A = this chain, B = another copy of it.
């Protein structure tokens, strides 16, 4: 592209004519030049460009340019094109104007941390990529590439055969779900986004602490949030919750029912029933985030809130963690009365998501690869979880507590208040171990004093290495305190 860019000029036919004539081009350009709207030296559209744009003949354009050259307003330079000569363009700045800067603010969440070489990530919420079915995925991608018509248009609700397979899996877990109730999303994050966008009155309750990205998401949608204190070491304080919910009158309660992020806590079945009672008494809807329930063995047979509370419970799940994070596939399940609003809310956000990815997941599920993968992975994650509990027993000083979630990728480690979490984090990073402190996951002052330990990401020897360093630094800080 050695030549200068050309300016754009709009031409209209005069009178009742349907196409632009040479005299229209002459008149318009003469006016633009004499009014100073076309700067001296500006390159005009090539003859072929105007011929095409206006649907007129090359000769018409050339005749107009010739006339303007004869009038001394334009000049032709061999091979370079046609340029404005003539009156200097006093009103047009020779250099471009700088536009005002936009006044953006950053949503309230921690920046994404990319993997750091030589640093051991002890709070990682992901699963070890070595355990993920990359080869199987490649096979499925190759196979779906040949589906006719796959890449042209897309169904904003999600690839229909994938919705069918997801619905079937959920029915096997005791939920009444048809393919028409499922909306495929970019991870569970977009599912939460669609639900909140569809709410005209954005008053939400969440657990406290809460999944940080959900909190920031709801905040950027202007939601007013009420935090319900959750203690991973004790029962749900339902009297306190009742008072807070009765006062706040939320429209919806967003709850992570299994392996709550970041505490790892799961509700007992009785607690789920109490939540349903509260919802009925106080008139709020339920949004169940079930991201974790099939992440470790033995866990998927407990009834979900959706199974207990029926189709009015809006249900969110994701394949992100369990399959391949970079697939970014999740879904939200509504029922016939709510699905149109959820689909429209998703369309407003991204219109639709890549069909190729949706078809690939569908293939993976249909071939049974996903279930085979889950069983194999679960066995390994079970071993890692058991080793993690054992290492904590052996390595943590007195006064340190942790949860035993029995699944999910993380547990919550609670340390004595006299240990400064910031000091601990600094000492650990000096020893190449990273923990994630999550002050932004709390509503106000954190009532817990700890952080997650991710037992699914690191091979056991590395995990134990990290816990050894953690134990040593905790002991030092406790002795110094």
Contacts and interface: CB of A to CB of B under 8 A. Distances in A.
Interface string A256-268: 0000000001111
Given A155-B114, A349-B190, A52 B324 contact: no
Residue among A114, A326, A401 having the largest count of chain B Cβ atoms under 10 Å: A326
A115 to B, nearest CB: 6
A285 B100 contact: yes
Interface in A215-232: 216-217, 220-222
Interface string A169-189: 000111000000000001101
A119 interface: no
A424 interface: no
Contacts of A276: 96-97, 99
A9 B54 contact: no
Given A251-B103, A312-B98, A349 B189 contact: yes
Contacts of A354: 186, 326-329, 354, 357
Given A351-B213, A406-B54, A115 B153 contact: yes
Interface string A343-354: 111011111111
Interface string A318-331: 00000011111100
A97 B307 CA distance: 10
Contact of A12 (B149, B155, B234, B279): B234
Nearest to A54: B404
A342 interface: yes
B112 A156 contact: yes
A93 B273 contact: yes
A142 B137 CA distance: 11
Interface stretch (A64-72, A126-134, A428-436, A463-471): A126-134
A138 interface: yes
Contact of A352 (B12, B99, B328): B328
A76 interface: no
A412 to B, nearest CB: 13
B312 A55 contact: no
Interface stretch (A241-249, A362-370, A386-394, A443-451): A386-394
A418 interface: no
A190 to B, nearest CB: 5
A479 to B, nearest CB: 20
Given A152-B324, A199-B102, A353 B186 contact: yes
A132 B286 CA distance: 43
Interface string A289-329: 00000001111011101011110111000000000111111
B404 A55 contact: yes
Interface in A412-462: none
A101 interface: yes
Contacts of A111: 340, 344
Nearest to A146: B138
A97 B52 contact: no
Contacts of A296: 52
B154 A129 contact: no
Contacts of A343: 112
A111 B156 CA distance: 10
B138 A284 contact: no
A5 interface: yes
A46 B279 contact: no
Nearest to A48: B298
For the complex of A and B, the 3 pairs showing the least CB-CB separation, nearest first, are A53-B406, A129-B152, A102-B285
14 contacts: A1-B301, A8-B269, A37-B270, A54-B406, A97-B308, A99-B305, A100-B286, A103-B200, A104-B199, A150-B326, A151-B324, A328-B351, A328-B354, A356-B357
Given A101-B285, A103-B201, A220-B221, 7 more contacts: A37-B270, A49-B406, A55-B390, A100-B312, A114-B155, A141-B145, A357-B357
